[in-house]
């Protein structure tokens, strides 16, 4: 059963209390709060999408320096104020705002 988001409809039109409710997909949307009887409406929220493009999966991919290097990416990690050290890929070992990268470094 999916989890639906609902919001209490206030008299002045401002957002009211929000709550979640498990319902069957075939059930019609509720129009009254199950406990208080106040008018409510179903609100839409972003779906939770998993797989290889999810935030947690992408964080794992970016954390794997060997994989990034193999795929041709360069990864720099901040090591100080305006200084970055290379962890994967091609390019200078260190870049900083005091010594910008030139065409010869790439």
pLDDT digit string, tens, across residues 9-37: 998 878 789 999 999 989 999 999 999 99
pLDDT in tens, 35-74: 999 999 999 887 766 677 677 777 777 788 888 888 899 9
pLDDT of residue 50: 67
Spatial neighbors of 69 by CB under 8 A, at least 6 apart, are: 88, 89
Q: Are residues 7 and 37 in the same domain?
A: yes
At 86, is the pLDDT very low, low, confident or very high (cuts 50, 70, 90)? Answer: very high
pLDDT of residue 32: 94
Residue 104 placed within a domain = no
Return the SS3 of 84: strand
Residue 106 placed within a domain = no
Residue 93 placed within a domain = yes
- In which domain, by residue range, is 87 found? 61-99
Residue 105 placed within a domain = no
Residue 9 placed within a domain = yes
User: Strands 40-43 and 15-22, how do they pair?
Assistant: unpaired
Q: Are residues 7 and 38 in the same domain?
A: yes
Q: Tell me how many domains the chain contains.
A: 2
**From CA 86, how far away is CA 83, in angstroms rounded?**
10
pLDDT of residue 44: 87
pLDDT of residue 5: 94
Residue 53 placed within a domain = no
Residue 49 placed within a domain = no
Q: Are residues 39 and 65 in the same domain?
A: no
82 to 11, 87, 88, 94, 105: CA distances (angstroms)? 52, 16, 19, 11, 18
């Amino acid at each position: 059963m999916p989890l639906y988001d609902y919001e209490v409809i206030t008299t002045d039109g401002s957002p009211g209390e929000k709550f979640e409710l498990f319902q069957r997909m075939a059930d019609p949307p509720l129009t009254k709060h199950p406990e208080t009887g106040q008018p409510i409406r179903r609100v839409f929220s972003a779906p939770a999408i998993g797989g290889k493009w999810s935030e947690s999966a992408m964080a794992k991919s970016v954390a794997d320096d060997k994989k990034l290097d193999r795929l041709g990416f360069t990864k720099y990690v901040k090591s100080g104020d305006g200084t970055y050290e290379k962890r994967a890929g091609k390019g200078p070992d260190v870049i900083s705002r005091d010594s910008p990268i030139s065409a010869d470094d790439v």
